[in-house]
């Protein structure tokens, strides 16, 4: 019969393990660090910065201006966009009077708290008008600012809407 002296038996609770048999391996530590780095990057990318907020608001404004121009052409009537320090809204001319433009896309929009409206023409442009063929009587610019970031949305005399810095 063989002796029951097994060297592989688990150590009793509280016993010390020889060096090299306790702790984490380098691979395990690297995996944990990689997961933490990915989580930190995801958090940092979701924090809105001034530049990102201003850029996204300028993109939104440019898209809504282009949609308003399209409505003017489709309906064959003038459409106006009114600007204020607090936000902007859309109107259309119906039977000689200005009325709010219907539709969720054209609801009154307030500027986000960290974005402010700055007139591009220096005179406080308060209205952009698209006539029934989609042109604008005069080229105009709207400048949005927040922190150090500035974005410009331009409307040409032909009604083309563009965005740039």
Range of the domain at 62: 50-164
CA dist 132 and 83 (Å) reads: 20
Q: Rounded to two decimals, what is the model's pTM?
A: 0.68
> Do residues 81 and 90 lie in contact, with contact meaning Cβ atoms separated by under 8 Å?
yes
Q: Is residue 89 in a domain?
A: yes
Average pLDDT, the chain: 83
User: What's the total number of domains in the chain?
Assistant: 1
91-148 pLDDT per residue, tens? 999 988 999 999 888 899 998 878 888 765 555 568 899 999 999 988 888 888 888 8
Of 152, 151, 127, the residue nearest 141 (C-alpha): 152
Distance CA 31, CA 35 (A): 6
- What is the CATH classification number for the domain harbouring 132? 3.55.40.10
Is there a domain that residue 20 lies in?
A: no
120 is a domain residue: yes
- Percentage of the chain lying above the pLDDT 90 cut: 36
């Amino acid at each position: 019969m063989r002796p029951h002296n097994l060297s592989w038996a688990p150590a009793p609770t509280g016993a010390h393990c020889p060096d090299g048999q306790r702790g984490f391996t380098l691979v395990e530590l690297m995996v944990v660090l990689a997961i933490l780095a990915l989580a930190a990057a995801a958090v940092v990318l979701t924090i809105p910065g001034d530049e990102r907020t201003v850029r996204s608001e300028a993109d939104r404004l440019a898209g809504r201006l282009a949609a308003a121009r399209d409505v003017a052409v489709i309906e064959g009537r003038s459409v106006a966009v009114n600007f204020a320090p607090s936000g902007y809204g859309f109107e259309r001319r119906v039977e000689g009077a200005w009325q709010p433009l219907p539709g969720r896309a054209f609801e009154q929009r307030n500027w986000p708290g960290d974005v402010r409206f700055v007139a591009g023409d220096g005179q406080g442009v308060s209205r952009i008008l698209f006539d029934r063929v989609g042109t604008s009587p005069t080229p105009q610019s709207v400048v949005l600012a927040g922190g150090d970031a500035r974005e410009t949305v331009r409307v040409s005399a032909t009604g083309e809407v563009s965005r740039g810095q």
